Chain A
Amino acid sequence: MDALDGNAIGGVLHEVFGTEMTAATATCASCGATGPVALFTVFLRAPGIVARCRVCSAVVMVIVSAKGMNCVDLRGLARLDAA
């Protein structure tokens, strides 16, 4: 199963952040690459959602939805600016 991209998590991100996020600009904390959230490499078929930097593959975002809550880890991002 190939990876998807950040478009695929647009719904959960909108739920978490309260606004459209696929066009938001993200900076990878590992390599500094900057680009839209839509370009993250996204792995949906896992116990949670893992988004990786398209350039260096470092984990930029992890979302685990369980027990009615979304747990979001953004430590892989140096910066995230909603459009």
Chain B
Amino acid sequence: MAGTAVRRRLTWQVATVAAVFDETATVRTIELGAPDWAGHRAGQHLDVRLTAENGYTAERSYSIASAPGEPVAITVQRLDDGEVSPYLTTELRAGDELEVRGPIGGYFVWDADAAASPLLLAAGGSGIVPLRSILRHRARSGTAVPARLLYSVRSLPDVIYRSELDQYAASASVTYALTRQAPPGWTGHRGRVNAALLADVAWPAGRDPVAYVCGPTSFVETVAEGLVSLGYPPPQVKTERFGGPGGP
């Protein structure tokens, strides 16, 4: 199915919350049961629509956190002044219904069976979510495609999926950039991702890599421009901007 355009009506459907799991103090993963779910590709997202009793509706988009073949799940970061994320991360519980539309996306997607190029994944804050779907898909497919993850967060407690990412360390190098606070003895990168760190971590352009960059807009612009400066052809730097500020 990879690479083909699937012409299919995209409609809102009612999903049921199967389980919720708190990844960090402000981040929650919501696993959904959606009987009409057509399956998804790594990197895609879905739209969520909430309806209040007075008919007021709010819609937001969230990246799918699970791999193709797994039950669909989203990971939501709570924004203090948000309208939807506080509801999803604190009020919503197993058994509740949620209207969803998806899966959405055909640009920011990665398919294990079509892949040969080394993968560079760069995440800022909650931008890790679609990249985690890619990493899970890569692990489940057993592909030998080499991968590197660069993950920029404010501090270590803000890392989402920490124990899972630690497990990938054997087959994919994981580099953290801590932008606000580092633990005593931290020898890793401090501060925002810069050209020097990118040059250090990114696959050399000669390996013909493909990059997926996701997070706040300013993070994505900085990293994407940096990779192009390192010789990555722009079509091989895929970007997904989450807006901002609110990132690392």
Contact = CB atoms under 8 A, between A and B. Distances in A.
Nearest to A19: B7
B9 interface: yes
Interface stretch (B19-27, B68-76, B101-109): B101-109
A73 B9 CA distance: 21
Interface in B1-58: 5-10, 45-47
Contacts of A1: 243-244
Contact of B5 (A5, A10, A83): A83
Interface string A49-83: 00000000000000000000000000000000011
B216 A2 contact: yes
Given A2-B244, A4-B217, A4-B242, A20 B9 contact: no
Contacts of A31: none
Contact of B240 (A3, A5, A11): A5
Nearest to A39: B239
A11 B45 CA distance: 9
B218 interface: yes
A20 B105 contact: yes
Interface residues of A, number: 24
Contact of B104 (A5, A14, A82, A83): A14
B85 interface: no
A20 B218 contact: no
Interface in A13-64: 14-15, 18-23, 36-39
Contacts of A15: 10, 101
A6 B238 CA distance: 12
A66 B47 CA distance: 18
B241 interface: yes
Nearest to B101: A11
Contacts of A4: 217, 241-243
A2 B243 contact: yes
Interface string B132-164: 000000000000000000000000000000000
Nearest to A7: B240
A65 B217 CA distance: 25
A11 B47 contact: yes
Contacts of A23: 106-107
A2 B5 contact: no
Nearest to B59: A11
B61 interface: yes
B241 A3 contact: yes
A29 B8 CA distance: 29
Interface of A: 1-8, 10-11, 14-15, 18-23, 36-39, 82-83
Give the top 5 A-B pairs by smallest Cβ distance, nearest first: A2-B217, A38-B107, A23-B106, A20-B106, A10-B104
